[in-house]
Structure 1
């Protein structure tokens, strides 16, 4: 009986090693161009932004959708929010100040601002 199982196991291993199937299939979801993650979205997910902001709910700070509703997507507002992200501030959305992100590169802050303002529906 042991020999039967041994032969069956060796046969099974031999047969699977000769298949032409690619078992290293990447099962990641294929995104359409409109669903691709932007640079700003990637930066937000790696930073401390998620501690105070959510996409659709107010936490400590406003939701990204509320920000997008308040500021139209234009160069003036992108620059304003870029500076706000880098320098911090308070008073616009309440008394709790937003922390400064002075070590953030200006281009990265601009990508974040563009992403947030692009959320307006």
Structure 2
């Protein structure tokens, strides 16, 4: 009888552990640009495929497609903030984000914000 209880408890614990590990594994599978965007609160105002407070990352990619200066423009916009390009709601400055993290997010966005 005790062996059956131990097996049942082990199965429950394994299921609980899988519930914790699976989201972490999915997060690790996300592109580095998306992980950096999540870590820096970008997703509070932007979504990959729909407008929230600001435009979707896919809308941004579409707007800047073919613009050789897009990376520099968007990097500056992330660092310094601004308004008027997508409406009257200003984008706050992200002065504390490293230039490397900004480049990672901008490159991901300009690639169309792919999920893999």
Q: TM-score, normalised by structure 1?
A: 0.68
Offset at residue 119 of structure 1 (A):
1.2
Matches for 1:38-117 after TM superposition, within 5 Å: 38-72=31-65, 76-117=69-110
How far apart are the structure 2 equivalents of 1:73 and 1:46?
28
- CA distance in structure 1 between the partners assigned to 2:105 and 2:74 by the alignment: 9
Q: Which has the higher contact order (CA 8 A, sep 6+)?
A: 2
CA RMSD of aligned residues (A): 3.0
Answer with 1 or 2: which has the greater Rg: 1
Question: Which structure 2 segments of 5+ residues have no match?
Answer: 8-13
Hey, what does 1:20 align to over in structure 2? Answer: none
Alpha-carbon distance change, 97 to 43 in structure 1, aligned in 2, over 3 angstroms: same
Structure 1 unaligned segments of length 5 or more: list them.
1-7, 17-22
Give me the whole-angstrom Cα distance separating, in 2, the residues matched to 1:69 and 1:75: 13
Is contact 1:64-1:116 (8 Å) kept? Answer: yes
**Over 3 Å off, 4+ runs:** 26-31
- Give the paired residue count: 102
Query: Shift of the alpha carbon at 1:28?
Result: 4.7
Structure 1 segment 7-26 matched on structure 2, within 5 A = 9=2
**Larger helix proportion, structure 1 or 2?**
2
Do the aligned partners of 1:89 and 1:100 also contact (CA within 8 Å) in 2?
yes
